[in-house]
Structure 1
Amino acid sequence: MRISYNWIKKYISIDLSIEKISSILTDIGFPVKRIKKIFIEKENHIEDEDNILDIEITPNRADAMSHYGIARDLYAVLTFRGYKKVHLLKPIINNSYQKDISNNKYCFQIFIEEKKKCIRYSGIVISKIKINPSPNWLSFRLKSIGINPINNIIDVTNFVMHELGQPIHIFDMDQIEGKKIIIRNAKNHTIFESVDNRKRKLNEKDLIIHDTKKPLSIAGIINSKNSNINSKTKNIFLGSAYFDPMTIRSIGKRHFIKTDAKFRFERGVDPHQIVYALQRTAILIKKITKGKIGSDIIDICSQPIFPFKIQLRYKKIRETIGKSISKEKIKKILFLLEVIIVSENEKFLLVLVPPYRIDVQREIDLIEEILRIYGINNIKISNNNNIRISPFPNFFHKTKEEIQKIISKQLVCHGFQEVINYSMNKKNEYSCLLNSFFNRKEINIINPTNKFYNSMRSSLLFGMINCIKYNHNRGNIKIRFFEIGKIYFQENNKFLEKTFLSLSMSETEKKRMIDPINSSSFFYLKGIIEQIFQICGINNYSQILFSHPLLEKSISIQYKNKNLVFLGKIKEEFFLQKKEIFYAEIDWEYLISFIQEKKVLYVPYSKYPTSKRDLSFLIDKTISFEKVYQLMKKKEKGFIKKIEIYDLYEGRNLPKSKKSYTISFFFESKKKTLTDIIINKIMKKIEEFLKKELGAKIRELSQ
């Protein structure tokens, strides 16, 4: 947003350099991107110079999107910091317009039908105006911030909008049928031809300003072509309003409307400044055009607009800012921000925040305002800094229940739902096959109350399958389930129980084709498991192909040479439905055992850069990436920081027994910068090793 320094000085008495003002604005949350000096020329000689500040204003600071808004914040911070002779001067409003009301010949009415969408609407008529070019002072003001002057009427409304932040819309009064302004929703299929020569089809969601016959404007953000003023206009109607910001935002988005009025209305204007801005506009137009005030101001407020009530605790201020600020200074800042203190005691203040500060509705927002004016640079940083070494949960001294809660929360965040299945199930050929494979003896129930529950479950898989079938039969095809539960079996004539974490994912083939990124897949589920490993601090794990009796394309993920996870796709003949279901089972007790033993070690980051090299080679289809990965880890431990698979290709232009890998190697040293000569030597060793151990054929990446 462009702000004229000379313009600001009309509202605040300051005599500081533009560089100092720029620094202060940046300190209080308005970064100045650049300062541009301009010269105002009149009658072929330099009349004056000005400095234009290009300021970044965040969308929530609608109150600062004007020259007076910026001046108001500058006044608060300069006064608090002890600058003397600083005064805030609001734009002049007087009652001179009332002298013409006795000659009033216009009686118009305002009706608000959509009271939730239009909170307040005010209007006034000015008659006997003459549309001409604007006076020099007005043209100079607008040109300084990059606005081209149009005529003395439109230029005044643009001036007031950039002065006070309130959009004002103008209609040709003689074109308003019935002398009535009605704010209501449009009727479906209403054709609206706007001043930008576009025809828009409106519907019942669109808020319009209407007379007794036709629409005049879409919510004050763009006028109808027929109601807009022109060179023949003699009498005008000025409207000033507060519209619901969400309504304006949706209308602008729906109809691709981008105007300055829309920009401000959708962020929220000051509801208590509606009449004030209208008076300011009327006085300027009357003065410039020699027109007459043709009516009283009619102000309709559909619902009361109250300040935001906040309880501000001194303790909370101290804890948030990290410094104890005296109560006197806190109260002074609040006074300068026009925040009213209703009551107070030793512990807190009860305050009212003006409605124009739509960004300050919570205690924490008000504390941020106090810090902003107090100065964040005045908060000293302690030499004793507490930092969290790892972004992952700290499992030190955590119970099993606490660890379970953390990991369950992680799964829920990825869209999984926890299920709890029965501890008993029906003995069948598949359970016998599974128990035989794992050398488990099933525990039978002597007196089952239900024939479907005649044995203790020896795997979480069967309960999970039943749960998935139940959901599929009722139309729930996108499934992500997890269960942490016990299994029961006999071993060496002892009854044992063991806890596992099971995960399952299921989606239809059609759904996966539409949304491949979020689809249930082997690699997605494996990624979820690897994230669990990551938060548990498990890094040096390996994976091998594994022949599970009920899973196909399955793998075993091992940690310290012991099985930790089984993962694969459930065989269709077992599930009896043509749907892809992926299942994983994690040895929960083994996972918990080494989580609790883990210790956090601090390893400083290398101050030397990381380098990357890609290597592409042909290899037998039977050789997995995991085998390549494990061999490379053992071969080059020194400078290789990370190994990732970049691409896998098999098919056309390759022998049937071969596949192509492209693998990325990341190199880093703690002691020195690795030069190309060093890395090239390492890559040469890797190539020779792959050729010798795996029969790989190196490919050129450019081919």
Structure 2
Amino acid sequence: MLLSMQWLREFVPYEGGVQELGDRLTMLGLELEEIINPFENISSVVVGHVVECGKHPEADKLSVCKVDVGEAELLDIVCGAPNVAKGQNVPVAKIGCVLPGGLKIKKAKLRGQKSCGMICSERELELSDAHDGIMVLPEELKPGQIFIDAMNMNDTVLDLGITPNRADCLSILGIARETALGFDLPLTMPELNLVEAGGNAADMLKIEIEEGADCPLYMARILKGAKLAQSPDWMRYRLISVGVRPINNVVDVTNYILFELGQPLHSFDGDLLKGDKIRVGRAPEGMKFTTLDDQERSLLNSDLLVWDAEKPVALAGVMGGQNSEINDKSTNVVLESAVFKPALIRKTARRLSLPSEASYRFERGVDQLMSAYALDRAAQLINELSGAEVVSGVAQNESLPWQTRTHTYRHKRCNAHLGLNLEPEFSKKAFTLMGLEVDDSDSDSWKVTTPSYRLDLERENDLYEEVARYYGMDRIPAVLPNISKTFDSAVLGDTPYGFSRRIKNWGRGVGLHEAINYSFVGSEDLDLLGLPEEGRVYIANPLSEDQNVMRTAITPGLLNTVRHNLAQGNNHIRLFEVAKKFVKDESSVTETREQNRLGLLVTGPRSQREWPGDNEDADYLDIKGLVEHLLTDLKLNDAEYEILEGCSYLEPCVQVKLDGEELGIIGMVKPEIADKYHAKKEIWVADLNADMLRDKVIANKIQFENLPVFPPSRRDVTIICPMDLHAATIEKTILDQKLPLLESLELVAVFVPENQDKERNLSYRLTYRHPKKTLKDKEVDKEHTKVLTALEKALPIHF
């Protein structure tokens, strides 16, 4: 919502600063997003007085003028406008001025005559599309005045973010109410002095509403003998300041009232309406209707239309029809003011992609009691600006009269909700300033009546929020709430079920799909993976031969899931499964030992097919990255990774250790095995001991430390090393120095020079920080030298 400060001051006598107003409105819930000067791009244009004007000696269509711009010397300006004449006041762009279109004024010669400026038209100033002549200013202006000051255009506009529930603030009046509330100022409504010319509009036009819920109120006034023309400057410039393009004096009035009072209006050409009836009703399914933008729309029976006696003339609350629009020949006007069902307007505007200032307000709800005032004020302005006579009376149909809403308010309960200790008089004052009526005859339970423009006040808690807004949300102290937990909820995370749920939440969170497979597989699946026959638990009465044994590893089930996905055309596969494996154990009561495992599997393109550019296949870094992410999420120590030889179904195979204990394995399924599952891409899996993870998490004691206060110092170093020297070895060598100032190190780049197969370059970034002071360069250099020296001594590297 764009708020003109000039316009606002017509409602409230606010004399403070713009930023102060924006800050206060933000605290009241209307967030200040930007402060704008709408006419800043013409702020260097000045008022000039044409002292002399004669024909150009070498061009019939050019005039040579001497213009007084308030300086010691007159400016020579060549002008091509046909209406330029001696004695006029005109807008002048002097040398160096940059006009809105980007044109920079320079000293020039036109057909041998020097020109030291430019006399501007309205289009060149982006005030309208008029360009048939220069803009002629009022006679009382003085040469040299800043143009926007002289024309009362020096306005400041605030761009405010309005939340969907505050439809009442989508107008200057609504924000004026908030300003009056925030600064305890009086609110003044525009004076209404409507002169009617006789007759009775209610006899001349009948209003029919098919369904009252669709249109609670429809009102219309009839105006005759309007003379369409350009609106006066004050109205045009005010509309431009809030982003509206002026059209003519009748249409501009409807836009003006929309922004001023928040009530959308629509003007029909009365001569194009057939019969003496206006009807509001639904559209027949599939009906075609052409709107003002010359687009034919296909309608549904959920769309609401305004009809005359024969045809639809407007898409209610969204846009008027081409067949009844105001045009240059219009003289008789039917002016509409209505209230429509917000849900209908919202659906129609969204479906047809027809957002408008009117629909934006209708779909949030308008003030039903304000409709009559807005209609009368618009009729008064059209009468004053176009000379139209206003027929007496109003044609209207209020199918659903406004019902006053009263809510209970309990002050003690409000204080408890807000954590404050406010006096009752404070709340009463707040409600009164907001336009709410308070009946506090019962001191414990007030009756508060809300005005028609506050549609967001629906229950008692909304009244508490109003008290908090007036008090100041920023002044309410922050207090942590009391949280009560049952015994069960306290220990749930430590149970196998609670931990399993945590792992599943993690898996879904990183973009994996959960696989749920049968606990039994076929002996052939286990044989294919080379898993030992010892320890298998066979099913006494299997459903089929391919499900005759309990799984001794989680991988066979995941590979079968891969085969099924590939058969369905999905080659971007990201899976996880939390499930048990079963191993024969004579010492157990059931003769079977169960262990919870976590399986991870990735295969196919690294990203979805919709992602543009090169798309590499998933590799070891993807599956290892998932394992590292899991351990980080569980707040566990970094794992150790070692190449494991002799794995029956993974090659390469990496053993994962946590605190020296075996956690599981990760690696690539051997191609000959993957081929049996119809996979043409590499399949990378991880099989981890979920029970060990849970034990580590339970035993893990999380410690907190203060965030660093002093800034870090960073040093980059590129190490040239043999191809077979692992980066982990270099990092371990650096960390083994246990330098107190070395906070972290990070591998940032790997580079292999062309035609080089023996050495590669590894670039590291080392971060140094002291916990109690800011490091000096010489202190960092000393520590860094220790690192480089230790590397050269311990490893076959150079820099």
Structure 1 residue 641: Cα displacement: 3.3
* Aligned residue number for residue 641 of structure 2: 543
Q: Within 5 A, what are the aligned runs for 1:237-386? A: 237-242=334-339, 260-261=357-358, 264-265=361-362, 268-270=365-367, 273-294=370-391, 297-299=394-396, 317-318=414-415, 321-326=418-423, 329-330=426-427, 333-334=430-431, 336-337=433-434, 356-357=453-454, 367-380=464-477
Distance (whole Å) between structure 2 residues aligned to residue 333 and residue 692 of structure 1 = 77
Q: Which amino acid aligns with 1:563?
A: E
Say which SS state the counterpart of residue 56 (structure 1) adopts.
strand
Q: Within 5 A, what are the aligned runs for 1:649-660? A: 653-656=754-757
Distance (whole Å) between structure 2 residues aligned to residue 633 and residue 244 of structure 1 = 69
Distance (whole Å) between structure 2 residues aligned to residue 653 and residue 342 of structure 1 = 87
Give the % identical residues: 25
* Cα shift readout 1:469-526 (whole Å, capped 9, x = no counterpart): 4555566766554433333335797766353332334565597443489997654554
Q: Is the 8 A contact 2:597 2:688 kept in 1?
A: yes
Say which SS state the counterpart of residue 282 (structure 1) adopts.
helix
Structure 1 residue 640: Cα displacement: 3.9
Q: Is the 8 A contact 2:209 2:279 kept in 1?
A: yes
Q: Within 5 A, what are the aligned runs for 1:116-127? A: 122-127=219-224
1:492 and 1:250, CA in 2 relative to 1: closer, same or farther beyond 3 A? same
* Cα shift readout 1:428-476 (whole Å, capped 9, x = no counterpart): 473596655xxx9414348445555544432222233344545555667
* Aligned residue number for residue 500 of structure 1: 596
**Aligned pair 1:457/2:551, yes or no?**
yes
* Aligned residue number for residue 669 of structure 2: 570
Distance (whole Å) between structure 2 residues aligned to residue 315 and residue 405 of structure 1 = 42
Structure 1 residue 403: Cα displacement: 3.3
Structure 1 residue 28: Cα displacement: 1.7
Gaps of 5+ in 1: 388-392, 699-703
Structure 1 residue 678: Cα displacement: 4.9
**Aligned pair 1:557/2:648, yes or no?**
no
1:477 and 1:142, CA in 2 relative to 1: closer, same or farther beyond 3 A? closer
Distance (whole Å) between structure 2 residues aligned to residue 296 and residue 162 of structure 1 = 25
Q: Which amino acid aligns with 1:72?
A: R
Q: Within 5 A, what are the aligned runs for 1:26-105? A: 26-30=26-30, 34=35, 43-44=140-141, 52=156, 54-60=158-164, 61-78=166-183, 83=184, 87-92=186-191, 97=196, 100-102=198-200
Distance (whole Å) between structure 1 residues aligned to residue 711 and residue 176 of structure 2 = 47
* Aligned residue number for residue 444 of structure 1: 537
1:217 and 1:684, CA in 2 relative to 1: closer, same or farther beyond 3 A? farther
**Aligned pair 1:167/2:264, yes or no?**
yes
Distance (whole Å) between structure 2 residues aligned to residue 361 and residue 121 of structure 1 = 24
Q: Is the 8 A contact 1:11 1:91 kept in 2?
A: yes
Distance (whole Å) between structure 1 residues aligned to residue 727 and residue 699 of structure 2 = 30
1:244 and 1:111, CA in 2 relative to 1: closer, same or farther beyond 3 A? closer
Match of 2:581 among 476, 480, 487: 487
Q: Within 5 A, what are the aligned runs for 1:587-666? A: 587-616=689-718, 619-635=721-737, 637-648=739-750, 653-656=754-757, 661-666=762-767
Structure 1 residue 604: Cα displacement: 1.0
1:143 and 1:367, CA in 2 relative to 1: closer, same or farther beyond 3 A? same
Distance (whole Å) between structure 1 residues aligned to residue 567 and residue 447 of structure 2 = 57
Gaps of 5+ in 2: 44-136, 143-149, 484-488
Distance (whole Å) between structure 1 residues aligned to residue 527 and residue 385 of structure 2 = 93
Q: Is the 8 A contact 1:59 1:267 kept in 2?
A: no
* Aligned residue number for residue 232 of structure 1: 329
Is the radius of gyration larger for structure 1 or structure 2? 2
Distance (whole Å) between structure 2 residues aligned to residue 55 and residue 673 of structure 1 = 43
Say which SS state the counterpart of residue 124 (structure 1) adopts.
strand
What RMSD, in angstroms, separates the aligned Cα atoms of the two structures? 5.2
1:659 and 1:160, CA in 2 relative to 1: closer, same or farther beyond 3 A? same
Structure 1 residue 68: Cα displacement: 1.0
Say which SS state the counterpart of residue 263 (structure 2) adopts.
coil
Q: Is the 8 A contact 2:578 2:599 kept in 1?
A: no
Distance (whole Å) between structure 2 residues aligned to residue 55 and residue 296 of structure 1 = 38
* Cα shift readout 1:148-171 (whole Å, capped 9, x = no counterpart): 765432332232122112232323
Distance (whole Å) between structure 2 residues aligned to residue 421 and residue 311 of structure 1 = 57
Q: Which amino acid aligns with 2:471?
A: Y
- The worse-fitting range, judged by mean Cα deviation, of 225-234 and 677-686 is 677-686
Say which SS state the counterpart of residue 555 (structure 1) adopts.
strand
| TM-score calculated relative to the size of structure 2 | 0.68
* Cα shift readout 1:549-577 (whole Å, capped 9, x = no counterpart): 32344433322122224223434433422
1:479 and 1:169, CA in 2 relative to 1: closer, same or farther beyond 3 A? same
Match of 1:426 among 490, 511, 522: 522
Distance (whole Å) between structure 2 residues aligned to residue 537 and residue 545 of structure 1 = 25
**Aligned pair 1:586/2:688, yes or no?**
yes
Matched residues, number: 677
Structure 1 residue 67: Cα displacement: 1.7
Q: Is the 8 A contact 1:110 1:298 kept in 2?
A: no
Distance (whole Å) between structure 2 residues aligned to residue 612 and residue 132 of structure 1 = 70
* Aligned residue number for residue 413 of structure 1: 509
- The worse-fitting range, judged by mean Cα deviation, of 158-167 and 323-332 is 323-332
Q: Is the 8 A contact 2:619 2:684 kept in 1?
A: yes
Distance (whole Å) between structure 2 residues aligned to residue 258 and residue 193 of structure 1 = 13
| TM-score calculated relative to the size of structure 1 | 0.76
Q: Is the 8 A contact 2:601 2:686 kept in 1?
A: no
* Aligned residue number for residue 669 of structure 1: 770
Say which SS state the counterpart of residue 514 (structure 1) adopts.
coil
Q: Within 5 A, what are the aligned runs for 1:114-263? A: 122-134=219-231, 138=235, 142=239, 151-176=248-273, 194=292, 200=295, 202-204=297-299, 227-242=324-339, 260-261=357-358
1:466 and 1:621, CA in 2 relative to 1: closer, same or farther beyond 3 A? same
Distance (whole Å) between structure 2 residues aligned to residue 246 and residue 631 of structure 1 = 68
Q: Which amino acid aligns with 1:502?
A: L
Distance (whole Å) between structure 1 residues aligned to residue 729 and residue 202 of structure 2 = 93
Distance (whole Å) between structure 2 residues aligned to residue 131 and residue 433 of structure 1 = 87
1:141 and 1:452, CA in 2 relative to 1: closer, same or farther beyond 3 A? closer
Distance (whole Å) between structure 1 residues aligned to residue 601 and residue 155 of structure 2 = 62
1:497 and 1:692, CA in 2 relative to 1: closer, same or farther beyond 3 A? farther
Distance (whole Å) between structure 1 residues aligned to residue 287 and residue 201 of structure 2 = 42
* Aligned residue number for residue 25 of structure 2: 25
1:144 and 1:487, CA in 2 relative to 1: closer, same or farther beyond 3 A? closer
Say which SS state the counterpart of residue 743 (structure 2) adopts.
strand
1:615 and 1:353, CA in 2 relative to 1: closer, same or farther beyond 3 A? farther
Q: Is the 8 A contact 2:636 2:696 kept in 1?
A: no
Q: Is the 8 A contact 1:425 1:456 kept in 2?
A: yes
* Aligned residue number for residue 701 of structure 1: none
